[in-house]
Structure 1
Amino acid sequence: MESTSQFTHVLVLLAAAVIAVPIFKRLGLSSVLGYLAAGIAVGPSGFRIFTDPAEILHTAELGVVFLLFVIGLELKPSLLWSMRRDIFGLGTLQVVVTGAVLTAASLAGFGFDLSAALIAGFGLALSSTAYGVQTLEERAELNTGYGKRAFSILLMQDLAIVPLLTLVSVLAPFGEPRNLTTGLVSAAAGGAALLAIVVAGRYFINPLFRTLAHARAREIMTAAALLVVIGAAWLMEGVGFSMALGAFLAGVLLAESSFRHELEADIEPFRGLLLGLFFLAIGMSIDLAVIVRNWTTIAGAVVALLAVKTVLLYGLTRAFGASHNEAVRVAVLLPQGGEFGFVLFSTAAAAQVMRLADTTMLAAIVAISMALTPVVGLFSKRLLKTPRREELKEDFAGARGTVFIVGFGRFGQIVSQVLLARGIDVTIIDNDPARLKAAARFGFHIYYGDGVRLDVLRAAGAAKAEVIAVCTARRSADRIVSIVRSEFPLAKLYVRSEDRMHSLELRRKDVTYEQRETLESALAFGREALVELGVDNSEADEVVDSVRRLDAERLVLQETDGIHAGNDLVFAKRVVPHPLTKPHRESQALSEETRAVASDDKAE
């Protein structure tokens, strides 16, 4: 019966996540918020399917461990060293300053004694590593300037949990007295653990995976990956550090390993599931009854926490050289309480530094702040400054080229090279000042101007050009084509096409010539692949010419008969089902041509 109950619980967790997360993503909200809502629904405050979130949370913390390991794999030691200023400077200052401010607020707002206020203040100063890194990964912004700063702060906060847990034992009324010998032993144990991870990562793990790879047993490689992560986490936890820190260090040491991608692929499924389970457990830990009884205090505390940390994060990040937009993004990403706060508060309650009721309320503040952070992030765009576009003076003196090119991006640059190589006089305009400056360094004279403005086209000499080449993106290209066809009907109009549908639209607008930007490069790419596979050069050219001809014929048919015309001109791999047993005789469904060939073979 117990196994049946556990099986039911697993089904409930999976169902809750599968239902809630897509709904929240559909609403444009973070998946983290979906997990939290699902946890509330199935936890003690909801349908009471789960009554002890702590059991699930203990296992789900492995999700944070795996997350930090995967992040470590992406950070080479050299890159980590380059971030040392943000880690030890900005990160340390954030913990100290925010902790001090929130300690003072706890003394004044909650009436805690100094010991409890210190734990509350510094516990709330920590942000959620799981939420912050998960959000950065979802947005693919971990390697941006603000992403690196945010990660540096989170990493320093993970390091800070060690002295904070030590502080709990020092403040405990019946704690074990600390002396110099005990401190030296703890420091030596931590140093030995770090050394063990460094030595293992550098000298033993690569040979181990190389040996296992020769065994060609995928499940053993997965087991070894789990062993490395959990082993490093267990070792660091045993000497008083956080498990997440141990996993992160193991990942960093394996960042340059030839097995890095294999490790990441093996860990990724466990990371995703356990991290989702972690946020489910956080949602379950939100006690709505406590919130209802103390809703004014908790609401005020949550608002104050988010406001204070946002302001301090912005100010400190700006002080370390970040731009306004970077500082805003960091501030709205990390104002919440963190998962290590739960660990710190529960440890403080066990050591009688804080009352159990106080830790329950603090846990609710942390959980609610985590739930509200995605909502705070929705309003961050209003705080961001739109970069001021550099304006240049429009001056078209001497702009009288035979060919008039609009747009000097990657496509326009190659077009200009072909014309200039033949000595053709060209006039090029573009409205990106940065691109103009970059081109000037290579000796190009490009005129600043917006090609969608008729007055600019006239002033730059488009009316006198023999050919107008539009090499811009689709939206602006369509507007330029309409203007040219209306104002310069005799101009020969050459236009870059975005895709097949765009080519058909341009043909309907009677352009002189259109070309899909990827067609010829893809044909050349395919030709080289054929040659690499042993196809003769002349035969490869014939194949490419055939594909080019059929594509052109199909485009003509689609222009007159619709987008679905000419499908028989497309080469496609036909899927032929294989019978489960070998047929007793060959199929008689032969084409006329095949039967003719067979008859000729028999005649010979």
Structure 2
Amino acid sequence: MKRNNRLESASYFNQVMIILSGSVISTALLRRFRLPPVLGYLIVGLLIGPYALQLVPGPDDLHFLSEFGLVFLLFSLGLEFSLARMTALRHTVFGLGSAQVALCSLFFWSVLHYVFGMSSEASLITAGALGLSSTAIVTQELTRWNELNSVHGHSAIGILLFQDLAAVLFLIMVPALAGTSDHSFSLAIGLIILKGFVLFIAMLATGKWLMPFIFHEVSKTRSEELFVMTVLLVVLTAAWITHAIGLSMALGAFIAGMMLGESHFKHQIEADIRPFRDILLGLFFVTVGMQLDYQVLISNLHWVVLGSLGLIASKGIMISLLASMLGKDRSSALRTGLVLAQGGEFGFALLTLALANQLLKPGLASLIVAIIVVSIAVTPFLIRFNSRISLMILPDKPFEPSMPHDTRELAEATSELEGHIIVCGFGRVGQTVARFMKKENLPLLALDNDPIRVQEAAGGGENIFYGDSSSRKVLEATGVSRARLIVVTVNEYEQSLAIIRAIRDLNQQVPVVVRTRDDSHLEDLKRAGATEVIPEALEGSLMLVTHVMSQMHIPFRRIARMVQTVRQQRYQLLHGYFHGGHSQLIDKQGNPLLRLHPVQVSPTCFAHNKTIADLKLSQVEILNVHRKNAVIESPDNNFIIQSGDTLILQGMADHIEQAESRLYGG
């Protein structure tokens, strides 16, 4: 008996090792091609499953663990399901979102039931699976290409929020569809919805009154282990309660996420739970892939291709038409359709539940999963090139990155402003600027593309409007031609560049002050039309130097003169720094970073007794020379280098390497 238990444990361990090894390799390969990891998990499941290499007999042994992946996915979505965000996007969520789910589900149900002859129950669940899009992939790709706050980005997020709600409803419906006859279905679904509603109210009340007290007490212990265990206990308890009353465990996890999403501990919980979610969710997708029969897929390859094209085309067209009918311009409506044309991870979850409840046949489920997989594989390319595709389809409609904002209303609200300051981006930096301007009673107007921030700031009395600062229409409405100063405080370089160019197209004279993280794009922003560029990292260094020198009792006038000189020289003294062994060679935009590197000259070096002009170091600058106890700043070309000197070189990594070889060997 003990031997059999050991064999079973060894077999289970081998299965987990095979899955982890395959997942690591496939995910690493897909990352190189910028494809979503979910495809890697599905491919691994297909290869190692019972229909291919048979390295893992079947998904049943891993079903319990994989279901936890779905539980943690729903919990994470619940955390993000902010009631404030829902309120800010309520028109898109409940208008466009509900219309999209209803229209797409009805269309797919009709096709599956009347054209392909599927049962009403199977058609309904499959239609729900095809009607939902991928929250994780769409959000990730929109963020990657800086389109999350565009018109189509906001439309997509609003629709996805409603889809999350609809997915919960579909999860509730699956056991009701499987366990009842036609005449008792309405009674059963009504009873389950009533249970869900009562549970929802009870758990939200618990989250408001009990959970803050518990987590406050746990946080007092300052124990990370206790905090993580408490989060896991809350998630699993909620899942256990819903399972015990006949509902889905995923539903309980979603409500638990909403329960904790409004607390002050939301971000810490999200950070702590992410490793568990990603690992278990990967295992869930592997088990989905194990249910794919490649022979069925090969024999029905034409249906997979046609189904994927049909899904993307029909869903994209329906969403585009709905968005256009509900007031979006044609370009933004089309781009919204392109972004959401795929199936999603909830589709896998619904199909898995339908299989477990015997609502679908395995072969049919494999075919539908394959169609969703292909649509997901195409999604990164659709999102990346959605602007170009839109221009190809609507060549007479050039893309204008405007926001869903009535510019006439904005123009009327700002018509009396003259000589005002426009702040583009109302994050921490923008709000700091606004506070100082208000103290001086200077007229100020702020633009931001975060609807929640705009709503909260406007409620706090700020003169802020919702809009895209890179849109010429929005800038015209703010009175950019009458503005005295424009301050750009957004985080992203590309967005800052677009804003500056839009401003200069409308007003060549107004001063534009731009905040940036570092000095990597200082010259580019200047060339685009920025009057002043303030790099945060370098200004922080200057502030620190100011405090250090004042503590050393250096006269304030001397400190101020030195700091002002550095600013006038465009921070030349602060460019570059000594990099450690783990430092990057490029910045986040892929541009080479300036480095500082010391080179000590010995009697045998080529540079000994040579002038700087003799060295011909065209791509590297010698900032200063350390000679005994003296430092020679910015030596000229006639300066003679001697043995014992230490030269501080500034330049790119490869240029410094070439210069060092030149100094040593000639």
TM-score range, shorter chain: 0.5 to 0.7
Paired AA for residue 525 in structure 1: M
| Distance in 2 (alpha carbons) for counterparts of 1:330 and 1:246 | 31
The separation in 1 between residues aligned to 2:233 and 2:144, in whole angstroms, is: 27
Provide closer, same or farther for how the CA distance between residues 538 and 86 of structure 1 changes in structure 2, counting only shifts above 3 A. same
Deviations 1:24-64 (A, max 9, x none): 22223333333333433333455332232355455334334
Tell me the equivalent position of 1:152. 161
Residues 305, 336 of structure 1: 8 Å contact kept? yes
Percent of paired sites with the same residue? 27
- In the other structure, the counterpart of 1:387 is 399
1:89-132 CA deviation, whole Å, 9 max, x = no partner? 33332222212211222245423354544443344323344544
- Assess, with a 3 A threshold, how the Cα gap between structure 1 residues 565 and 152 changes in structure 2: closer, same or farther: same
Distance 2:80 2:186 in 1: 39
Structure 1 residues without counterparts, runs of 5 or longer: 391-407, 415-429, 446-450, 462-467, 481-494, 499-515, 570-604
CA contact (8 A) 2:387 2:399 kept: no
Quote the Cα distance in structure 2 between the aligned partners of 1:319 and 1:156. Answer: 23
From 119, 127, 141, the equivalent of 1:121 is 127
Q: CA deviation at 1:77?
A: 2.1
SS at match of 1:254: helix
Aligned mate of 2:209, from 203, 209, 215: 203
Task: Tell which deviates more after alignment, 159-168 or 210-219.
Answer: 159-168
2:526 equivalent to 1:522:
no
* Partner Cα separation in structure 1 for residue 123 and residue 218 of structure 2: 51
Matches within 5 A, 1:123-272: 123-133=129-139, 135=141, 144-162=153-171, 164-165=173-174, 168-169=177-178, 175=181, 178=184, 185-239=191-245, 242-272=248-278
Alpha-carbon distance in 1 for matches of 2:234, 2:552: 50
TM-score, normalised to structure 1, is 0.65
- Once residues 4 and 333 of structure 1 are traced to their aligned partners in structure 2, the CA distance between those partners, rounded to angstroms, is 45
Q: Is the Cα–Cα contact under 8 Å of residues 119 and 168 in structure 1 kept in the other structure?
A: no
Q: For 1:331, which of 337, 341, 352 is the aligned residue?
A: 337
Distance 2:199 2:345 in 1: 24
**Superposed CA RMSD:** 4.9
1:146, 1:329 within 8 Å by CA — same for their partners in 2?
A: no
Instruction: Look up the match of 2:364.
Output: 358
* Superposition deviation, residue 88 in structure 1: 3.1
Task: Report the equivalent of 1:474.
Answer: 523
Question: What is the distance in 1 between the residues matched to 2:512 and 2:131?
Answer: 58
Q: CA shift at 1:341, angstroms?
A: 3.8
1:442 lines up with 2:483 in the alignment: yes
The size of the alignment, in residue pairs, is 486
Q: Following the alignment from structure 1 to structure 2, what is the Cα–Cα distance between the partners of residues 186 and 322?
A: 37
Q: In the TM superposition, what is the alpha-carbon distance from 1:194 to its structure 2 partner?
A: 0.9
The answer to whether the 8 A contact 2:291-2:366 is kept is no
- Look up the match of 2:87: 81
TM-score (normalizing by structure 2): 0.60
Q: Measured at CA, do residues 196 and 528 of structure 1 come closer, stay the same or move farther in structure 2, by a change above 3 Å?
A: farther
SS of the residue 1:331 aligns to: helix
Q: Secondary structure at the match of 2:390?
A: coil
Pair member with larger Rg:
1
Kindly indicate whether residue 313 of structure 2 is the aligned counterpart of residue 301 of structure 1: no
Q: What is the CA-CA distance between 1:146 and the residue it aligns to?
A: 3.3
8 Å contact from structure 2 (residues 288, 348) kept in 1? no
Shift in CA distance, 44/225, structure 1 to aligned 2, threshold 3 Å: same
**How many Å apart are 1:267 and its aligned residue?**
0.8
User: Secondary structure of the equivalent of 1:387?
Assistant: coil
1:24 aligns with 2:50: no
CA 1:523 to 1:355, structure 2 compared with 1: closer, same or farther past 3 Å?
closer
Does the residue aligned with 2:264 lie in a helix, a strand or coil?
coil
d(CA) in 1 for partners of 2:128, 2:228: 38
TM-fit CA distance, 1:138: 5.8
Q: Distance in 2 between matches of 1:53 and 1:13?
A: 11
Tell me the secondary structure at the aligned position of residue 551 of structure 2. coil
Residues 124, 253 of structure 1: alpha-carbon distance in 2 compared, 3 angstrom cutoff = same
CA distance in 2 between counterparts of 1:444 and 1:545 reads: 26
Shift of 1:568: 6.3
Question: Any conservation in 2 of the 1:149–1:330 contact (CA below 8 Å)?
Answer: no
**In 2, Cα distance between the equivalents of 1:79 and 1:469?**
32
Distance in 1 of aligned mates of 2:95 and 2:484: 43
1:310: how far off?
A: 1.6
Q: Residues 554 and 106 from structure 1, CA distance in 2 versus in 1: closer, same or farther, beyond 3 angstroms?
A: closer
Cα separation, 1, equivalents of 2:575 and 2:145 = 38
* Unmatched tracts of structure 2, length 5 or more: 1-6, 392-397, 403-422, 426-432, 434-469, 487-499, 515-520, 577-595, 598-611, 628-666
Identify if the C-alpha distance between structure 1 residues 86 and 352 changes in structure 2 by more than 3 Å, giving closer, same or farther: same
Match of 1:48, SS state, is coil
Q: How does 1:579-594 map to 2 (within 5 A)?
A: none
1:99-114 equivalences in 2 (<5 Å) = 99-114=105-120
Would the alpha carbon gap of residues 169 and 444 (structure 1) be closer, same or farther in structure 2, given more than 3 Å must change?
closer
- Please state how far the C-alpha of 1:182 moved relative to its aligned partner: 5.4
> What does the per-residue CA deviation read over 1:396-421, in whole Å, with 9 as the maximum and x for residues that have no partner?
xxxxxxxxxxxx999xxx9xxxxxxx
Relative to structure 1, the CA distance from residue 162 to residue 349 in structure 2 (aligned partners, 3 Å threshold; closer, same or farther) is closer
Q: 1:530 to 1:303 in 2, by over 3 A?
A: same
- Distance verdict in 2 for CA 1:528–1:565, change over 3 Å: closer
Q: Could you tell me how far apart the structure 2 residues matched to 1:180 and 1:479 are?
A: 63
Distance 1:218 1:438, change over 3 A: same
Tell me how far apart the structure 1 counterparts of residues 171 and 43 of structure 2 sit (CA, whole Å).
Answer: 31
| Structure 1 residues 488-519: Cα deviation after superposition (integer angstroms, max 9, x where no partner) | xxxxxxx9898xxxxxxxxxxxxxxxxx8568
How far is 1:292 from its partner?
1.5
Q: Which residue number in structure 2 is paired with residue 535 of structure 1? A: 551
